[in-house]
Structure 1
C-alpha cells in the first residue's frame, strides 16, 4: 500500500517549515519562487493531497461556491460561468453550478440546497426579478455577488454589470452612422435589468437623433414562434424601417434569417446589429455586427469581490460597471 504523506512529511522532504508548505498550498503569504517550485515538486513526487475534510473543519469553510444561472445553454452565461469556475478552481474553490431555467421555484430549491451544503459564497447571474437572499434560513452567513441582476438589498452585496446602456447607445448610433433613418429595436418578452438598460439606451439614442420613441412603431417583440411571419407583418405596416438593433445575438440571428426569407437584403435594405458577440456571429451570412461584453473582466472582478467578501475584506453596496465594445461586421455596414 502506498504511503500516505502528511503536511509534516512534505515540509521535511522540502526542507522548509510546515507553515511555508501551507502558504505554498494556499498560495497565501510570502515565499520565494524557488521555494514554491521545490515544495510543488515534492507534492507531485509524493502524490500528496490536502485533507480537505480536516482543513474545512479547522477553517470553518467548505471551499465551495454556488452559481445560479438562468440558462446554461446561453453563450454569454455559459462563457462567464466557465471563466468564473476556472478562476475559482485556481484559488482552491470548487463550484456548484445550478441551472434554474428561469423558474422561481427551482431557483429557491437550489438556494436551499446550496445553503444546506454550507457554501462559502454565492454568485447570481441575471434574472427577471431582483434577487432576494432573505428567503434562506441564514442569509447573513452567505456572501453573494450579483451579475446583471439587481439585488433587492444592495447594501449587502456587490452588483456587477456590463455597460448595457452605453452598448445600446453605441449599437443604435452605429446604425444612424451607416445611413439608417428609421431603426427599431427587437427584443423578447422577458424582462431583466440588462434588457431594460439596453432599451433605455436605444430610446436615448433615438432622441439624440431627433426621433421620438413609439412603442408600436419602433419596437417589435419576437419570441420563438412565428418570427418570420411577425417580422413580415411589422415591416408591411412600417415599410420605412431600415435598421434593427436586436437586444441579443440570438434574436439578431433569427431576425437575419427571417429577413432573408422574406426577400430583404442585409445590409442593403435593412441593417442589423446584435448584442453579446456570440461565436456564431462570424459564421452567419452576412456576418453579424454586435456589442462585445468583456467576459474575462466580468469573471475576474466577480471572483475578486466574492473572495474578499468571504474573507471579510470586501466592501458591500458597490455597483461595478464593465465597459463594452462595438464590433462592426457586414450586417450593419
Structure 2
C-alpha cells in the first residue's frame, strides 16, 4: 500500500493541506461537503494519521479512560458502548475498566490510566463519592462523573438521570393502581443514584398520605440470600402488594422469586423496576420500569468531557437528564 501524506490527500481532494488537517482533527471551519470529500479520499487511499507524532506535537494521547462498576449490567454496558462510539467519532480511543465494584481494583485501574497519559476520564456510578485526590491522579486530568457524586464538585461536572423523579413516578404508579402497602427492594450498599431513588420512594408515599417505615418497607437484599429473605419478608408482612426495585436486574430476580413462591404478578403483588432493560419486554409478565435516556446521557457526558479537555468547561454544575415510565404487565 502506498504511503500518502496530508499533501497527497489535499491534492486528491482538491482542497488545501490545512483544510485536510482541520477535517481530520474536526477543528475549525469547513463545509459538510468538504468533510465528506476529504473523508472519502482518506478511505479510498487508506491514509492513516501518524498518531504518535500527532500526540507528541499536541501533548495529547487521544485516549479516554472509562471506569464502570459492572460491565455485565445492561444499563452500564449500553451507556459505555454509546460513549465509546461518540468518542471514536471524535478521534478518541477508549480504555474501558470494569472495577467489579472493588475499590482495590478501581485504584489499580486509575494508576494504570494515569500512566498511559489519558486525556480525560469518565467515572460511572459507585457507592462512595469519587475523590480525585484520594485516587492519586494528576489534578490536570479532566473528568466527569455519571451517577456518582464527586467529592470535589468544583473540579468537574456531575451528570445523572433524574433518579428521584423516576422513583417518585414509579411509586405513584403503584399507588394509583391500587397498592396499599408498596415496599422498596434495594441493595445493602447504595450509590448516589440509589439514594436518590430511595428519597423519591419516600416522598411519593408522603405525598399520598402514606407513612414510611424503614424497618418494614425496605427490603435489603444481598447477592446470596434473595429467595429465602423474600420468602421470610412476605411471611412477616403478607399485606405487601407492590414492590419498587432499585434496578431492573434486581426486579427480574424478584419476579422469578415471586413466581417460585407462588405469588401472582400483578394480581397479588405489582412490580416495577428501574433502567428499562430490553429483557423487561421478554419476561412473564413483562416488566414495568423507569426508562433512562441513554443516548442523551452519553452525548451530554462526551460533550462536557471534551469541553473540559479543551479548557471550555463550566465546572461545579449538575446536569439532570429526564426519565419516563414504561408501564407493562407487571403493574395493573
Tell me if both proteins adopt one fold, taking TM over 0.5 as the criterion. yes
- List aligned pairs for 1:83-232, cutoff 5 A: 83-135=82-134, 139-232=138-231
Contact 1:115 1:136 in 2 (8 A): no
Shift of 1:198: 0.6
User: How many Å separate the matches in 1 of 2:33 and 2:260?
Assistant: 64
State the alpha-carbon separation in 1 of the partners of residues 84 and 250 from structure 2.
28
Q: How far 1:263 moved relative to its partner?
A: 1.3
Q: Please show how residues 69-84 of structure 1 align to structure 2 within 5 Å.
A: 69-84=68-83
Counterpart contact for 1:292–1:326, Cα < 8 Å: yes
Cα distance 1:101–1:138, how it changes in 2: closer, same or farther (>3 A)? closer
The aligned counterpart of 2:239 is: 240
What SS class does the counterpart of residue 263 from structure 2 fall into? coil
Moved more, 212-221 or 38-47: 38-47
Measure how far apart 1:35 and its partner are.
Answer: 2.2
Structure 1 residue 11, shift from structure 2 partner: 1.4
Moved more, 190-199 or 223-232: 223-232
* Unaligned stretches of 5+ residues in structure 2: none
Q: Give the TM-score taking structure 1 as reference length.
A: 0.97
* In 2: Cα distance, 1:33 partner to 1:301 partner: 23
Stretches of 4+ aligned residues off by more than 6 angstroms:
none
The whole-number CA distance in structure 1 between the counterparts of 2:268 and 2:93 is 50
Q: CA deviation at 1:227?
A: 1.9
Q: In the TM superposition, what is the alpha-carbon distance from 1:225 to its structure 2 partner?
A: 2.1
- Closer/same/farther in 2, CA of residues 175 and 138 from structure 1, 3 Å limit: closer
Is the deviation greater in 141-150 or in 102-111? Answer: 102-111
Change in 2 beyond 3 A, CA 1:260/1:138: closer
Deviation (angstroms), 1:38: 2.6
* Partner-residue secondary structure (3-state), 1:320: strand
2:12–2:41 contact (8 Å) kept in structure 1: yes
Describe how 1:249-260 pairs up with structure 2 within 5 A. 249-260=248-259
Q: Which residue number in structure 2 is paired with residue 302 of structure 1?
A: 301
Question: C-alpha distance in 2, partners of 1:172/1:95?
Answer: 37
Partner residue of 1:264?
263
Deviation sequence 1:35-62 (CA, Å, 0-9, x none):
2233223222221111111111111111
Q: 1:213 Cα shift? A: 1.0
Structure 2: distance between partners of 1:162 and 1:195: 11
Which runs of 5 or more structure 1 residues have no equivalent in the other structure? none
Q: Which residue of 2 aligns with 1:9?
A: 8
Taking the aligned partners of 1:159 and 1:329, their CA distance within structure 2 comes to 31
Aligned residues: 332
Please provide the CA RMSD for this pair. Answer: 1.2
What is the CA distance between 1:261 and its match in structure 2? 1.2
User: Which whole-Å CA distance do the structure 2 matches of 1:109 and 1:226 have between them?
Assistant: 30
Q: Is the 8 A contact 1:267 1:330 kept in 2?
A: yes
Shift of 1:141: 1.3
Instruction: Show CA shifts across 1:132-158 (max 9, x none).
Output: 111355522100000000001000000
Instruction: Report the equivalent of 2:290.
Output: 291
- CA distance in structure 1 between the partners assigned to 2:4 and 2:135 by the alignment: 40
Q: Is the 8 A contact 1:125 1:149 kept in 2?
A: yes
